[in-house]
Chains A and B, each alone.
Chain A
């Protein structure tokens, strides 16, 4: 019953020798993974089978993502529960594990120094807050990140970051598997889609039906989850952001080349030493519900009284970018429509960070009411906030209604500030814009096939059938989201996983091109370190590829493994 295809990497794994440990038992690895994504589940099964060929016994346990994080990623130490609560010898997760799949981190190619939260030495808890797997780099990475973050010399920065990713590729703290691609399906009559790239869709206000831009029709996009909130202060997930962004453009955008694209802000100036940034707000931006014009006062008030307020009365989830070393960043008005940000240390990436990139704001008049009483819940439940009544001419559409678990409806905003300025006269070109939630993905895809919705994301294994569909056009955009298999280097994992050689051997056994080509159907890029190859910080000369196309597979992996393992391990 087992297939015997002749293609390399595809055939069912052959039964190899078994690896025995010093206790005379076969070495068992416990693998946990997040269910919910078929490509991920298949990938994990493939990896398990490859490791079984390497001689291990692999126990598989699939569970939902939140449960997996709660039981296997969080650890407790001295009363604290966090992803990195304490030293790796003492702070361990609730349940023991060796391999974890279905996790992934974005590689933030725009601000790669943010990655230190994953890769810096686990002992530096204040910095390495997401280092739940207990990794100690073989070379200190914290100083490299530090220097790369502050040096004005771009060449030096590229060098340093190149080294960082080189170290990661050799250390294999996790097995970097593949970088996802987003695959978008659009009804053919949608035009003005924009260029595929990391910022795909940043100018979606210009889309239209048919050959020529003209106002008319309802554009429905399908998404697989609903929004959590419409309150920008508490919105930190992509779904909430997608809906809010229909009604508000945000401060500015970044294009596919990471260049500043004006929206509410017309531009900025950075000081020579990259410590002071001054931002300019466009004229003619009017809040709704009679809150007047958008001024620098609104922005400064919002940042200092909402994001930087102690205590966090508004429950802001977007505070972190506004603090450096525990201290709030200084923000002051410099004019009616300009304000400056004064950083304690040089930061050449500031514009690329989530602090102001795509940031929203609320009118001071609205916030001040609740600020006095520190009534964050009151602000949250304010009907004006819940119905986005304050968005005035700030976005292409205005809020109509939100039918939970169903559809978010926004209607065309004839006063949109961007019409005639940033976008052609008459923008946006849809009378109504709907975001429809689909809990069931087959229904979502059927709706696209039937023409009931005009765009949605496509899972990798359906792409071929949509490419054959005459009514649908398919676009791929690469992402920097890296799928990974984490190795547990804390005390409740297999102790040998602390040796880089052992991790390298395990990574060699898994063929990344196979995963990218077979499981993701070519809609993913093999990953060897925590940067995609298209990123300017990726230096091929410094990266070693384990599990790549030239990898010799199980035989080589066995050699490496035996060399790296201490006395007492043998194949029988």
Chain B
């Protein structure tokens, strides 16, 4: 078992470096259109184009490719990702600043999605095709059937622009803030009610996108086992609903977990970026996008590493869980 885990960890490191190198290659080898904008602005000012081009190179921290790659590898190894020219500050500082904002809505969203999704899914597995099942499924599917950005913009219109003023016991409930204000975090603190109010809509938008995925898989896989022989056997032995569910769930968890983590992460990444743009949350997803657009390689590498590591560690966890949960299956170790 330990050898297995060690082997997987080694693989994790290798995979991380491989993926990041691919990103690095794409960025470095790709054309840099911003140079043209810079040149245009310089020409319109009457500046010398050659000098402008040189200035641009220096500003971007250019250099020979092998040198930059070596720098990139050492950055990743040390965990100090160097300097971000587009932010004019150390990469680590930029990422650490952005991380809490993303976690602030992503963690509640994930919790909501998992709990609600599993609840809806399991209920549906045991009570298929009933009216309640249809209704719950419908609500879950709504979240995954509308574009995130549309939902976000409509929520802003409904709850911020057009909302009437509603207060309960002196606490202002509506209207919600129309965008995310970092000033609130500085004034009231990160775990304050004011911050929670402005994280509500982003969390809702991201979470609803993931509820249906969870529900679907929980229901699909559990349903298969509901009628399975061994569940019937358990029931025949007198197991009540919950124990039956447990028996159904355990092997169902195997393929479930197989897709769960990476799926969740993928959903979150796509949803997170759009949500951050719509609500103007200065989180990691937005940081990553702006780094891509600016061609700021050290920053891109750092912000990409986070989801990459997340997925890899998730895979590791699921492979281990695989071995533990379904001993029927032989895993090629």
Interface residues of A (CB under 8 A from B): 64-67, 69-71, 73-74, 80-85, 105-106, 114, 117-118, 129-130, 228-231, 234, 236-237, 312, 315, 317, 319-321, 354, 376, 380-381, 386, 401, 403-407, 409, 434, 436-440, 442-443, 446-447, 449-450, 452
Contacts and interface: CB of A to CB of B under 8 A. Distances in A.
21 contacts: A66-B37, A67-B33, A71-B33, A82-B43, A83-B39, A117-B44, A129-B43, A129-B49, A317-B55, A319-B51, A376-B58, A381-B88, A403-B97, A405-B286, A407-B183, A434-B183, A439-B280, A439-B286, A440-B153, A443-B280, A452-B179
Nearest to A131: B43
B46 A129 contact: yes
Nearest to A448: B178
Given A406-B282, A452-B177, A315 B58 contact: yes
B290 interface: yes
Centre residue among B41, B47, B97, B178 by max chain A CB count within 10 A = B178
Given A405-B287, A439-B280, A447-B179, A69 B43 contact: no
Contacts of B41: 236-237
Interface in B34-66: 34-37, 39-51, 53-55, 58-59
Contact of B94 (A237, A354, A404, A449): A404
A229 B84 CA distance: 12
Contacts of B98: 405
A271 B45 CA distance: 26
A443 B177 contact: no
Interface stretch (B115-123, B155-163, B234-242): B155-163
Interface in B170-191: 175, 177-183, 186
Nearest to B53: A81
Contact of A69 (B40, B51, B156, B279): B40
Contacts of B51: 312, 319
B44 A130 contact: yes
Contacts of A73: 36, 40
B87 interface: yes
B31 interface: yes
B278 interface: yes
Contact of B88 (A229, A319, A452): A229
A96 B179 CA distance: 43
A34 to B, nearest CB: 11
Given A67-B36, A446-B156, 6 more contacts: A74-B39, A229-B88, A405-B98, A405-B286, A436-B179, A452-B177
Nearest to B294: A228
Contacts of B287: 404-405
Given A404-B87, A450-B175, A69 B44 contact: no
B119 to A, nearest CB: 32
Contacts of A439: 277, 280, 286
* Pairs of residues from A and B, 8 with the lowest C-beta to C-beta distance, nearest first: A66-B33, A69-B36, A70-B36, A82-B49, A405-B282, A130-B43, A70-B33, A320-B47
A443 B43 contact: no
Choose among A70, A105, A386 the residue with the greatest number of B CB atoms under 10 Å from its CB: A70
A370 B226 CA distance: 74
Given A312-B55, A446-B178, A80 B49 contact: yes
B282 A320 contact: no
A339 B267 CA distance: 62
A63 B182 CA distance: 33
